[in-house]
């Protein structure tokens, strides 16, 4: 074996991450070879995976616009991802340039890319933190970096878009409730999530192969949830119209068409926006 071969075999390669796989599925450029390989493996099993990501982004855009127009002035985006077109602050600040947004992600690439595009935007910032540790998130909100952006005494929008399917059932309440339950009246939550009917749609074995890619290449499992389980995540919050629905059914007139409308089948993801009264 030559030295070169030895070097290549011992140099650690970056692992794929959910943020960068998702970036690739959306046509972004902030991804590495390992992410592209994992994303391609997923697309080989479930070609609609790219449409799932797009459908989710379009829902997020419509939800943020609706909430900004309803008067919400601060947004906490947990598991915010790598910036792409139609980021939360772009949609919200088009309604009111003073709207404040704090992005939180565990992936340093996502945080760095977010802070690059937020440069000079004093109302918005991205921080690296783990939303599965709500105490740490609450500590981070009190930090000097974030305290000028998020005020927990005022109504706040908390977004969990396409992130909670990474969390096992026995942990999810302990992750969501500590933040949800201290939000003041007038606050809102946005959740989008892969629905439980996904294995029926594309076949259980095909979907298992796709989720295996996440497990083996990005070290995460994917959990599908029923509408009943998703409704429970909102606690005492009350859903606005049209409730918890396939994403393509949530106020579709507010964005470009969801890809699943053309595909003649509903989006396999569910989403809802809910308020605390
Ligand atoms: C599928 S992407 C969704 C991005 C964005 N929310 C959206 O809807 O377009 C999931 C994001 O959650 C982030 N994430 C996963 N686990 C996390 C954790 N424990 N804490 C913070 N971010 C996390 C990933 O890094 C990734 O950026």
Distance 74 CA to ligand 1 centre (A): 19
Ranges of residues in the chain with a pLDDT under 50 are 1-9
- Where are any strands of DSSP class E within the chain? 74-78, 100-105, 124-128, 157-161, 188-194, 238-239, 245-246, 269-275
* Residue 85, helix vs strand vs coil: coil
Q: Where are the domains of the chain?
A: 58-202+223-275
Distance 3 CA to ligand 1 centre (A): 39
Distance 105 CA to ligand 1 centre (A): 6
Q: Which two tokens stand for residue 45?
A: 């099993």
CATH superfamily of domain region 58-202+223-275: Vaccinia Virus protein VP39 (3.40.50.150)
At residue 267, the pLDDT reads 87
Owner of token pair 């076949």? 203
Mutate to test the pocket of ligand 1, among 16, 79, 102, 220 (most ligand atoms within 8 A of CB): 79
| Residue nearest ligand 1's atom 15 by CA | 79
């Amino acid at each position: 074996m030559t030295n070169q071969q030895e070097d290549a075999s011992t140099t650690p390669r970056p692992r794929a991450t959910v943020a960068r796989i998702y970036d690739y599925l959306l046509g972004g450029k902030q991804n590495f070879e390992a992410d592209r390989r994992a994303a391609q493996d997923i697309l080989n099993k479930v070609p609609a995976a790219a449409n799932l990501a797009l459908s989710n982004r379009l829902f997020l855009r419509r939800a943020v616009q609706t909430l900004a127009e309803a008067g919400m002035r601060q947004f906490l985006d947990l598991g915010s991802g790598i910036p792409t077109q139609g980021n939360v602050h772009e949609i919200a600040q088009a309604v009111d340039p003073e709207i404040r947004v704090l992005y939180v992600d565990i992936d340093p690439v996502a945080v760095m890319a977010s802070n690059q595009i937020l440069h000079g935007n004093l109302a918005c910032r991205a921080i690296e933190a783990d939303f599965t540790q709500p105490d740490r998130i609450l500590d981070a909100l009190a930090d000097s970096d974030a305290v000028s952006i998020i005020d927990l005494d005022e109504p706040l929008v908390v977004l969990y878009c396409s992130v909670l399917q990474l969390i096992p059932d026995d942990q999810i309440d302990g992750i969501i409730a500590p933040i949800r339950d201290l939000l003041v009246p007038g606050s809102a939550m946005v959740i989008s999530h892969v629905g439980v009917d996904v294995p029926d749609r594309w076949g259980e074995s095909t979907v298992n192969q796709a989720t295996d890619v996440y497990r083996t290449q990005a070290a995460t499992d994917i959990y599908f949830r029923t509408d009943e389980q998703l409704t429970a995540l909102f606690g005492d919050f009350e859903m606005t119209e049209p409730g918890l629905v396939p994403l393509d059914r949530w106020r579709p007139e507010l964005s470009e068409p969801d890809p699943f409308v053309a595909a003649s089948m509903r989006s396999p993801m569910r989403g809802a926006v809910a308020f605390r009264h």
